[in-house]
Amino acid sequence: MTVPDRPAAPARSPERAQLSLFARNFFKHPRMLGSIIPSSSFLVRRLLSRVDWEGARVIVEYGPGVGTITREILRRMHPEATLVVLETNDDFVDFLERALPDPRLQVVKGSAEAVQAELQRLGLPAADHVLAGIPFSTMPAALRERILTDTQAALSAQGSLLIYQFSSRVRSDLQRVFGQVESDFEPFNILPARLFYCRR
């Protein structure tokens, strides 16, 4: 008597795999991610609305995770621009290298505090924009200071730091390091997010 073959298990969609990876890493490193799901499309659009897509040639993203914002940056940025993403999580680094085979993308396993050194290593000029959703308010004060100071030094004369946070506690540090800080708010996200646009 022959036993019929079992139907193959349906393959997980890329979106489900992305959400699953993000959720697993949230439970392992909740203070690093801040939220159990990636940023909403509303938040991504609001954050990216301040980017000069025509003029920007070097864009940096801190903590890209599973690439929710990274994909949108790549979709919008100039064909001759370069996107450098700095990520400390090995799972996310592997995922980004597999999921986003774009020659304009440089995936770097490293910390945001090394942004200047990484741009120099890659032979790139100062960044036009740095974007981030890393949780500044929960990291040690000394690390936050190093990242903000190095970011300010890594920006071009007209460059900007564009970040979203789930708390406004980092604003005083941003004001002290950058001087020019504008704020915004996006309610349609889990959690609702505060945005800060900083210039040198």
Q: Within 10 A of 172 (CB to CB), how many other CB atoms are there?
A: 10
pTM (2 decimals)?
0.83
Residue 30 within a domain: no
Tokens 């799972």 identify what position? 91
Each residue's pLDDT tens digit, 177-186: 999 999 999 9
Q: Within 10 A of 61 (CB to CB), how many other CB atoms are there?
A: 24
**What CATH number does the domain containing 110 carry?**
3.40.50.150
Secondary structure (3-state) at 68: helix
Residue 159 within a domain: yes
Distance CA 104, CA 172 (A): 34
> In terms of pLDDT, which residue wins out, 107 or 29?
107
Residue 16 within a domain: no
Mean predicted confidence (pLDDT) in 130-151: 96
Q: What count of Cα atoms within 13 Å lies in the side-chain half-sphere of residue 164?
A: 30
Domain count, the chain: 1
Q: pLDDT tier at 18 (50, 70, 90 boundaries)?
A: low
Q: Are 157 and 200 in contact (CB under 8 A)?
A: yes
Peptide bond into 191 cis (omega under 30): yes
Distance CA 67, CA 89 (A): 13
Q: What is the mean pLDDT of the chain?
A: 88
Phi, psi of 164 (to 5 degrees): -125, 145
How open is the CA angle 110-89-96, to the nearest 5 degrees?
90
**Sheet of strand 105-109, all strands in order from the earlier edge strand to the far edge:** 105-109, 82-87, 58-62, 127-132, 155-165, 193-199, 180-186
| Range of the structural domain that residue 158 is part of | 39-199
pLDDT score for 5: 52
Q: Inform me whether the pLDDT recorded for 67 exceeds 80.
A: yes
Each residue's pLDDT tens digit, 31-41: 444 455 789 99
Each residue's pLDDT tens digit, 160-171: 999 999 999 999
- Which is it for the CA torsion 109, 68, 123, 113, positive or negative? negative
pLDDT score for 200: 84
**Lowest-pLDDT choice from 17-21, 41-45, 102-106, 131-135:** 17-21
Residue 6 within a domain: no
Residue 25 within a domain: no
Residue 8 within a domain: no
Residue 4 within a domain: no
**Lowest-pLDDT choice from 34-43, 80-89, 140-149, 188-197:** 34-43
